[in-house]
Structure 1
C-alpha cells in the first residue's frame, strides 16, 4: 500500500500576511501610476538626474571643482571638449552641473523630509488632542503661514553658519505649516471613524491611537505632500545659494548661478554660463511636481487630476 506525500501547507503568519498586502498595494499603486503620462515623464527625468548624481565621480571625476587644474580658460565658449563651456575659473561647466546635482538633490530631499516630519507631528498631535493645545499650535502655524517663507529662510541662513546643514534647517523649519494644516484636517476626519472609538473603548492610549490608526491613514497624504515639497525645497536651496547664503565650499546649481552673476555673465552675454544650471533646476522641480500630482491623483482619485 502506497501513500502519496502531499506538500505541507503552512498557514501564513500575521507578518507574512501584512507583507503580502503591502506588495499587493504597491503593485496596485504602480498600475494606476503608469496611467499618468506626465507622472511617468517626471519619474523618468528624476531617474536620469539621480543616476547622474550617483555616478558623477565616475563620469566627471571627484576633482571637477578643483581650480588649480582647470581644463579651460576662464569663461571659455562651448566646444567639443567643453560642451557647456567653462566657468570664471576655467572649470568644465558640464562636469560642475552634473556634480551639482548631488548637492541640490540631497539638500532638497533632506529639507523636504524635515519639513514634512515637523508638519506631520504637529498636524497629528493637534488634531488628536484638540483643546487649548491645538489652539496654540494652530496660531503658531498661522503665523508661519502669513510670514514670507523665503524671508524667514534668509534670516535663519544669515544668523547661522554657512553650511549645507544650515540650508536644510532653514528650509525645513519654514515650510512645514502647509503640511501641518493638511495633516490636521485629515486627522480630524479619521478621529470621527467608528474604529477609533472601539480602540479607545478597548483601552488604547493616545500613542496607540495615533501610531496604529491615525498615522497609517494620513501617510498617503504625507507621501504626496513630500514629493511636492521637494521641488519647492530645491528652488529654495537654489535661491539661497544664488543670494550667497549657501556653502561656498560645495558645488550646487544655485551656487553656479551665483558664480555666473558675480562673473558678470548676464551683461557680458555668456548665456551658456546661466542656462545649464537654470534648466537643471527647472527640470528637476517640474519632474517632482509632476510625480507629486500623479501620486496625489492615484491616492485620491476624487481630485480628478488630468493625465
Structure 2
C-alpha cells in the first residue's frame, strides 16, 4: 500500500526568494563551498596587506633607496625601478590603492543599481519600464571605449577614476535586483502590510530591502572584481592618477620606462600582474560561492 503523505509530513514550504541556508535542498555543492573559502582567504589576505601596508613595506615607496634597475636581492626582494624605488614597497602600497578604488567604485555601483532596480521592480509599469529602458541603453553602449573617453575627458585623478568606474558598472546589478523585487512585491506579507495601511516606503524598507541585501552583497563582490580590473586597465593606459601607487600605475611606469624590453619585466611587470590576477580570482570565487547560496535563480 502506498504511503499517504500528510501536510505535516511534507515539511516546511520552501520560499524560492528568501534564501534558506539550513535547508538540505539549498545546500551548496562541496566544490562551491571550497572555492568560496579559497576566494575568501585571498580577499582577507589582500585586505590585511592593504590595512597594514605601512608596517609590511620595507621602505617608503616614494623614496630612492637603491641603485636603479637593481635585480631582486637580499636588500630588495623584488628589485628596484628606474629611479631606485623599492618595487616590493610599491606593490604593497599599491594593494591599498587598488582595493580602495575597487571597493568604493563597487559601492557606488550597488547604490545606483540597487536604487534603480528596487524602484523599477516595485513600480513595474510606467516608472519601472522607463528606468529599465535606461538600463538597457547603458548595457548596449560600448563599455570600454566609453570608459576611456570619460576618464580622459574628466581628468586623471583617483576620485575621477573611481566615480567613472562606479557610474558605468551598475546596470547589471539593477537588472538582477529588479527581478527579485518583482517577486517580492506580490508576496503575502507585503500585500498584507499594504492592506493594513502601510506606505510603499515602509513596505520597501521593512520587507523588500532586507530580502535583497544578500543578493546585493553578491553583486557587490562581483562589482569589486570588475572595478579592480578596470582601474588597472585605465592606469596602464595612462588615464589614472600617475602619482598614486596602484598595481595599474606600476605597470604604466614599467611600460613608459622600457621595463618590457629588458630583464626588469621579471620583477617590475610580473608581480603586479599576478596581484591583479589573484585579486580578480579571489573576488570571482567568492562571488561564485555567494551567488550559488543567495541567488534565487539558482
* Paired position in structure 2 for 1:186: 180
In the superposition, the TM-score normalised over structure 1's length comes to 0.84
CA contact (8 A) 1:34 1:40 kept: no
Q: 1:41, CA displacement in angstroms?
A: 1.2
* Paired position in structure 2 for 1:42: 39
Write the distance in 1 (CA, Å) between the matches of 2:38 and 2:81.
31
Instruction: Pick the aligned partner of 1:139 from 133, 157, 167.
Output: 133
Q: 1:268, CA displacement in angstroms?
A: 2.1
CA deviation profile, 1:128-177 (whole Å, cap 9, x unmatched): 11222222211111111011222222222122232111111100110000
Write the distance in 1 (CA, Å) between the matches of 2:220 and 2:132.
21
What is the 5 A alignment of 1:106-121?
106-121=100-115
What is the 5 A alignment of 1:54-69?
54-60=51-57, 63-66=60-63
Write the distance in 1 (CA, Å) between the matches of 2:145 and 2:190.
41
CA RMSD, 1 decimal:
2.2
Q: 1:195 to 1:301 in 2, by over 3 A?
A: closer
Q: Which has the higher helix share?
A: 1
Write the distance in 2 (CA, Å) between the matches of 1:34 and 1:162.
44
Unaligned runs of 5+ in 1: 1-24
In the superposition, the TM-score normalised over structure 2's length comes to 0.86
Write the distance in 2 (CA, Å) between the matches of 1:195 and 1:59.
52
Residue 172, structure 1, aligned to residue 166, structure 2: yes
Write the distance in 1 (CA, Å) between the matches of 2:68 and 2:290.
44
2:269 partner SS: helix
Q: 1:300, CA displacement in angstroms?
A: 4.2
* Paired position in structure 2 for 1:158: 152
Instruction: Give 4+ residue runs of structure 1 displaced > 4 Å after superposition.
Output: 25-29, 32-35
1:72 partner SS: coil
Write the distance in 1 (CA, Å) between the matches of 2:28 and 2:54.
33
- Number of aligned residues: 274
* Paired position in structure 2 for 1:126: 120
